[in-house]
Amino acid sequence: MNILILSAGTRNKVVQYYRQALAGRGRVIATDCSPYAPAIYEADAYEIVPRMTEPGYLDVILSLVRKWEAAGCFSLIDPELSLLARERERFEALGCTPMISPYNLVETCFHKYRMAGLFAECGLPTAKCYLSLEEFDAALERGEISYPVFAKPEDGSASLNISQVYDRKELSVLFERHENLMIQEFMDGQEYGADVYVDMVSGQCTAIFLKKKLRMRAGETDKSVSVHDPALFETIRRFVERAGFRGQIDIDIFDVGGTYYFSEVNPRYGGGYPHAYCCGVDTPSMYVRNLSGEACEPEIGAYEDGVCMMKYNELSVRRIADGVNEAYSV
């Protein structure tokens, strides 16, 4: 059983975890558009591919599925997730099951206003959102919202172009400078992250790891501590099953005055997932079992409280081979 990890980049740990999950029963093949992506050298083999925006990219990836007889694949970057979801049937026709949620759901995750609507539809508290200055001004006049607020791209990711705004003048400048902005209520509370796995066979939520975020850097969790909240576990389980998510997802949640507000869902491995894995939440092994046609038993909350994750820098130093468009075994 071989697994193809797309756009591996700097996610060395995830590649390592999948090699451990396969335990010699198959190979991990990593791809990236650059030979300077350190994670590809953690795989059993790697392939240098075109940028995903280049014509013919999908055909290249499908050819790799055939070449390596990949039983499964997934991507570690947002822009590629919609492609995988949209083209799922082409992968499945080759015997490869992408770890991805349905296309419409993936697209909803990448549009914050639509995501807020899904949260509300599922009965979950979420921040108020406005797509225009006029809509926001009216809500401000009614006393439904107050400064500060966040201005952010409605379809953004990785915390890019997000500004905390304190007055109308700042908002006007930002709306003139950037397209497709939305205004979101400022969540003044403690942020949590949930690493969640929804079984690819049964559709049942089988793992939830909850962490209190202590420090963020470039949109990713830098330091965190594991926590438990059975009521929140149940809320998350009902939400992801009702919405129809599949595979690995990452959820951002804020505790504001004792109420949990759901903020965002990333339908992929989050940057803080290594914390979950090191606490025993082994979702790579769950995916491997699913690829064998086996449904996993729920293991929600199967970890210890009070375990801290603290990221630090590592180096990968190696000679980069010539002919980087060929495949190499590591």
What would the two tokens of residue 34 be?
A: 């650059």
- Residue 283 φ/ψ region, left for φ over 0, alpha for ψ in the -120 to 50 degree band, beta for the rest: alpha
Radius of gyration of the chain (CA): 20
Can you spell out the DSSP letters for 171-225?
HHHHHHHSSSEEEEE---SEEEEEEEEE-TTT--EEEEEEEEEEEEETTEEEEEE
Contacts of residue 258, defined as CB under 8 A and 6 or more positions apart, other chains included, come to: none
CB atoms within 10 A of CB 307: 15
Helix axes 168-177, 133-142, angle to 10 degrees: 160
Looking at residue 206, its pLDDT comes to 98
Return per-residue pLDDT of the chain as tens, 330 residues. Answer: 999 999 999 999 999 999 999 999 999 999 999 999 999 999 999 999 999 999 999 999 999 999 999 999 999 999 999 999 999 999 999 999 999 999 999 999 999 999 999 999 999 999 999 999 999 999 999 999 999 999 988 886 655 678 899 999 999 999 988 888 999 999 889 999 999 999 999 999 999 999 999 998 877 889 999 999 999 999 999 999 999 999 999 999 999 999 999 999 999 999 999 999 999 999 999 999 999 999 999 999 999 999 999 999 888 898 887 655 455 555
Report cis status (omega within 30 of 0) of the bond before 98.
Answer: no
Inter-CA distances, 159 with 150, 152, 153, 252, 264, Å: 11, 8, 9, 12, 11
pTM summary value: 0.93
The DSSP code for 40 is: G
**Cα gap 31→29, rounded to integer Å:** 7
Looking at residue 158, its pLDDT comes to 55
Scanning the chain, the segments in alpha helix (DSSP H) are 12-22, 57-68, 78-86, 88-92, 103-109, 112-121, 133-142, 168-177, 230-243, 273-278, 283-291
**Cα gap 280→195, rounded to integer Å:** 12
- CA dihedral (108, 110, 114, 119) positive or negative: positive
Looking at residue 324, its pLDDT comes to 54
Task: Look at residues 159, 184, 188, 187 and name the one whose alpha carbon lies nearest to residue 171.
Answer: 184
Quick one: which H or E segment has residue 264? Answer: strand 259-266
CB atoms within 10 A of CB 128: 14
Beta bridge partners of 2: 70
Looking at residue 75, its pLDDT comes to 98
